[in-house]
Amino acid sequence: MKRIYVLIIVAIATALPAVKSQTVAVKTNLLYDATSTINLGLEIGMSPLWTLELPVNYNPWDLGEDRKIKHWLIQPEARYWLCQRFNGQFVGVHGHMGGYNIGGIKLIGMEDFRYEGSFYGAGLSYGYHWVLNTRWSIEATIGLGYALIDYSKYECEKCAKKLKDDTRHYLGPTKAGVSLIYVIK
């Protein structure tokens, strides 16, 4: 699977010189911002109905008292626009990979243990893009898909003793966003 991501990066790098005259947008996902996750996305127009989105997310923060939601995520997506790019409805195919270190959080049912690991997978998404003016837009998107999750489970009190290593298959929501977008022409 890691080879696939390397091939995606090579394909993107190869395609970039061909999109000089295309539209490029910079975006931030406000849902991630609300969780103090640093995030930045780049979306590149590839043709009149296709774009390529390249978002990166990183959360390095400890919450104190042995609580943390540290993670990183890369989630490239090819989008097909039903009318015209950067306006109206779109459907997409995304891949995702990331790593995490989460524990001590009652809200998500992880108050007694800490989990550390990685994941990768793919999914389908749907979204809508509202143009506010020539440069600014807002977008909402939701995605469903699959993830293979590898993790180690630790005692949370001291976060030192490893209890087990395991792998899980996940099928469900894999993407959610409300993004503020600045279009560069």
In the predicted structure, residue 78 carries a pLDDT above the cut 60: yes
Residues 6+ apart with CB under 8 A from 97: 1, 2, 5, 73, 74, 118, 119, 120, 121
What sign does the CA torsion over 156, 173, 121, 88 have?
A: negative
Q: What's the rounded mean pLDDT across residues 165-173?
A: 95
CATH number at residue 62: 2.40.160.20
pTM, full prediction: 0.82
Q: Where are the alpha helices (DSSP H) in 16-159?
A: 30-34
Task: Tell me what the pLDDT averaged over the chain comes to.
Answer: 86
Residue 128 contacts residue 139 (beta carbons within 8 Å):
yes
pLDDT exceeds 90 at position 99:
yes
* β-pair partners for 151: 117, 166
| Residue 47 region by backbone torsions, left for phi larger than 0, else alpha for psi between -120 and 50, else beta | beta
Q: How confident is the model at residue 135 (pLDDT cuts 50, 70, 90)?
A: very high
Q: Taking 50 as the threshold, does the pLDDT of residue 21 lie above it? A: no
The domain of 133 spans: 2-184
In DSSP terms, 128 is beta-bridged to 89, 140
Q: Residue 9: pLDDT band by 50, 70, 90 thresholds?
A: low
31 sits in the region (left: phi over 0; alpha: psi -120 to 50; else beta) called: alpha
Half-sphere exposure of 89 (CA within 13 A, CB side): 4
> Structurally, how many domains does the chain consist of?
1
- pLDDT for the residue 15: 52
Q: Locate tokens 């190869």: which residue?
A: 14
